[in-house]
Structure 1
C-alpha cells in the first residue's frame, strides 16, 4: 500500500521474534535466493518451513533439514504448511522449533555473527598478504570488541578488494 514504507527491499534490522512466535509455522521462501531473514525466523518459538534453494547463507551447511527446519520444493508451500499443521506433527514441529532456536541462539546471535565476520575478514586478508585490507580492518575498534554496527559500517566493496584498494 501507499500509506506505509516500501513493500520490497531489505529491512535494516530483522523483524522482532515476539510477534512471529505466535504463528504455528513460519515460511522462509528461499527458493530463488538465500533468505537473509532466515536467521531471525530460527530465533522464534515457531517451526520454520524453508523453500529448497541452491543459494546459501554462510551458516546453511550447519543447519539440518528435519532437525532445524522443514524443507519444501518451490510450488509446494501449501502442502508443507498442511503437513506441519497436522495434529500428528505437533510434537515433531515443537522439537524442530526448539532445535532451531537453540541453533540460532548459539550461532546466529549478534555476538556470534560479529565473531564470524571478524574471523572471515581476517582470514580473507591472509590470502592476499599483509596490509591488503588494511583500510577496511583499520575501521574496527582497537580498544573494545567489535559490534554488529561496527561490522555493518565497514567499507566492504568486493571490486576494491579485488584491486587491493580497500
Structure 2
C-alpha cells in the first residue's frame, strides 16, 4: 500500500483484490486518521510504502529502493541486528484496549493455547509440537494446547490435536498462556497480554515493533518445545508463586501502558515523523507537488506519478535529500555500496529514532 499524507488528510493506493489485505489497509488509514484527530497529533506531510502482507518484503525483493514499513520481520538477538531491512509499524487492525482478570488462586494451573493451523504452516511447527506434547503424559497434566481450526486442507489433523475454541475473555482462567509463531510472529501476543496470566513467549527470530522492549523474566517467560515442560514443572514450586504474579502484573501493565490503540497511533505518528526527516526538505516539497482528485483512493496514474517522484528523490545518511545525480561518496546512485548504506540507515534512523523502548507519553515513567 502506498500512502500519502497532506495537511492531515490521508490518501492511499492499494490495487489488490485480496479482502484481508484491503481490510488491513482500510483499518490502518481509518485508525490513524481517527486516532491522530482524537489525540490532536499532527501527521507529517509524507509518502510511504506499507507492506500489509505477513512476510517482510525487502529481502524477498532483493533490496528496497526507499524505506518500506512492514508488520513483521526477523531479528537476531545474538548479534543484535535485524535480518530484514523493513521498518516495523504496528498492526492497527488489532485492538488491545481492555484488561481481563480472574482470581489468581482459582486459575487453571495449566498452560493454554488455542491456535489455527494456517495453510502455509508446516505440520511439525511449534504449535503442532505443543499439541503433541499436550496429547500425552506428562504434557497432558501441564498443557491444554490444541487447534480450534485447521486451514491446511492437505493435513489430516490428529483428533488429539483438536480442541474447542476458547474466547479471549476466558483466557484469563488459565495461569499460563502460550504464544507460538504462526507463519510469522503471532499478533495474538498482545491479546493475551491483556490478562493477569503469565505469558510464555516462544524463542523466535520473528518480531513485531514492540517485542524488543519485552524483557524475558520481567514481562514474559521464554520457551521452546524442547524445554516448555521443564519450565512449567519448575514453576509448580509454591515458593515461585510471587515471581509468577509479578510477571503477570508486569505483562498486563506493559499492555495497558503501550499497546492500546492510542499507544499504537502515537508510535506510528512518531515513526512517520522520523522517516520523513530522512528526506529533509525534499519530502514536503514532493507532497505539495502531487495533484490528486477529491477521492482519497489514489488512481493507478496517481500511483505511477508518486513512484516516479519517489525514485527521483533520494535520501542521505545525514537525513537530508539529494537529487538523483548527487553522490556524496563518489559512487553512482545505483552502486551496491550506496544501496547498503541506505538499507542500514533505514533501520538505524527510523527505528533508533523511535527507540527500542516504546515511546513514553508526557509525564510517564518507563
User: For structure 1, which runs of at least 5 residues remain unmatched after alignment?
Assistant: 9-14, 136-153
Distance in 2 separating the partners of 1:100 and 1:30: 19
Distance 1:127 1:97, change over 3 A: same
Q: Number of aligned residue pairs: give it.
A: 135
The answer to whether the Cα contact below 8 Å between 1:31 and 1:74 also exists between their aligned partners in 2 is no
Distance in 1 separating the partners of 2:263 and 2:251: 15
TM superposition shift of 1:111: 0.7
Please say if 1:130 is aligned against 2:283. Answer: yes
Residue matched to 1:140: none
Distance in 2 separating the partners of 1:162 and 1:85: 57
Q: Which moved more, 1:95-104 or 1:54-63?
A: 54-63
TM superposition shift of 1:7: 4.3
Please say if 1:73 is aligned against 2:224. Answer: yes
Residue matched to 1:143: none
Please say if 1:19 is aligned against 2:175. Answer: no
Distance 1:31 1:49, change over 3 A: farther
SS at match of 2:234: helix
Which structure has more RCO (C-alpha within 8 Å, separation ≥ 6)?
A: 2
TM superposition shift of 1:101: 0.8
Please say if 1:110 is aligned against 2:261. Answer: yes
Distance in 2 separating the partners of 1:87 and 1:57: 34
Please say if 1:93 is aligned against 2:244. Answer: yes
The answer to whether the Cα contact below 8 Å between 1:28 and 1:49 also exists between their aligned partners in 2 is yes
Q: Which of 195, 198, 223 pairs up with 1:47?
A: 198
User: For structure 2, which runs of at least 5 residues remain unmatched after alignment?
Assistant: 1-115, 117-147, 152-165, 289-296, 299-303, 312-366
TM superposition shift of 1:132: 8.5
SS at match of 2:200: strand
Q: Which of 266, 270, 290 pairs up with 1:119?
A: 270
Residue matched to 1:83: 234
SS at match of 2:185: coil
Give TM-score scaled by structure 1 length: 0.65
CA displacement, residues 9-60 of structure 1 (integer Å, 9 cap, x when unaligned): xxxxxx9753111111000114974222212221211000111112211111
Distance 1:132 1:123, change over 3 A: farther
Distance in 2 separating the partners of 1:102 and 1:110: 15
Larger Rg: 2
Give TM-score scaled by structure 2 length: 0.32
